[in-house]
Structure 1
Amino acid sequence: MHPLPTPATQPGRDGLAALLAKPSAATVGLDFDGTLAPIVADPEQARAHPEAVPALAALAPKVASVAVITGRPAAVAVRYGGFDGVLGLEHLTVLGHYGAERWDAATGAVTAPAPHPGVAAVRAELPGVLERAGARRGTWIEEKGRAVAVHTRRADDPQAALEALRGPLTDLATRHGLVVEPGRMVLELRPPGMDKGMALARHVRTTGAEAVLYAGDDLGDLPAFAAVEELRSEGVFGLLVCSGSTEVTELAERADMVVDGPAGVVHLLRALAAQLD
């Protein structure tokens, strides 16, 4: 039996109570990296926590919807998560590229608009920008299709490398109509008007959910936290969960509940499923 953690705030306790009272009208939204999957030095090696998919499969049939909202391409998140073809996840939705892409387990298809032309231009110039900034050593470029990211986790001084690149990458992004999204030892260059808050709010309103739980770990999850707070003002109950880390503290300060990384998220999902039994 998995004991259910208690939210530290009254709005969080109200959100959890609403989810438990009427799960058929509840949406569960989850970030991927750092929330369902442990953070690793090489993003291509990231995989969902080994108990994440069974926990999701136990919970998903009991609620209105489960959506994984990630900056990764939807198909990559599906592959790294191991979500495709899993019994119990037939109605899972993956919103990739901050909602610009959508994968539905029911069809196995990805739908998406045409890519922003600025991404290709940035991709071509990025190696030269890193070279001129003296930041080629230890940095790594992640190709994300509709965005591109520069990781500094493997640099000698990851934080110093991140700060040294912030200005040059912001200039590069601005010239091509993109924005820079900072994260845990990463700077992502992507089109504007894409964030997890917009994706989550649109999904909640589309499903008509009366309660929403959202769990995340990084700065890119702050818009989703803000969306839940806005939804609360509209009468939707909300529970904000932080997949805790020592690298990012902003989410923990705004969360109703802090759990111990992906293992803690898995524990929470299992506890919710058990409680709804």
Structure 2
Amino acid sequence: MSAERLRGQQGALACPECHRPLTQSPEGFACGPCGASYPWRDGYVDFAPQVTMKKFGLGPLYMQDPLHITRYEDHTRGVFVNLMGTNWGGALSKADEDAYIQRQLKPSEGPVLDLACGAGRWTRAVVERVGMNRVIGVDLSVAMLRAIREALPELATVRANAQKLPFGTGQVGAVNCSNALQLFPDPAAVFREVARCLCPGGTFTVLTFRKAERPLYRHFQRQHEAAFNVRAFSVEEIQGWLEAAGLKLVDLHTPGTFLLFTASSSSSPSSP
């Protein structure tokens, strides 16, 4: 069923290298103009077959370790989120996180991406908002893609680099990215790629972390960042990257040291 749902979104798919339309075969997808091919692998299409994740720091390691992924949701994620988000008192609950997606995700026409979907923690909220038929889970970790297939076997999934998404310009209705922006080596490039793919009016919802204002707590954040190879952000740099990408910030919520924000694509998509 997941493969059928992905095939149903073929019109939105495009070569991540040249953004041209793809042809389909039993083996996967291929790009005639540049000659690239993208194979089916165990229920997902691999749009980054030459890319390997670097295991620098505990964050990237945990995202790829099949043994740890089984403990991720109930153990590691909670501690990580509480420390990075200054959430020891539970000011932002899981229900609050889901409610933000439900409230702010307002897709235009086209598929809805859960970018860096992981094991599916936030994908469920996206599915509840727009329906399973429209959602595509995107991740670079093979172990995470296997985990989300077990959790949501009907979900369409692809393996892809967030800086080279396998979708045509202006073909995506909305993008959600929860608890992952801090892992990307070049967040500004990810913003530009999301902006390229979004339809006019499509939304981009994000949950990540901001730098603590108190020097002592910022010290503990920095220790966590170094161990997990992640980073927190300032509101100003997020705003600057969004503006540079052509995205308009329409909502900003900062409980504790969380950053929950929504941006929209208001201009016509440019040519690839």
Q: TM-score, normalised by structure 2?
A: 0.30
Q: TM-score, normalised by structure 1?
A: 0.30
Question: RCO greater where, 1 or 2, for CA within 8 Å and sep 6 or more?
Answer: 1
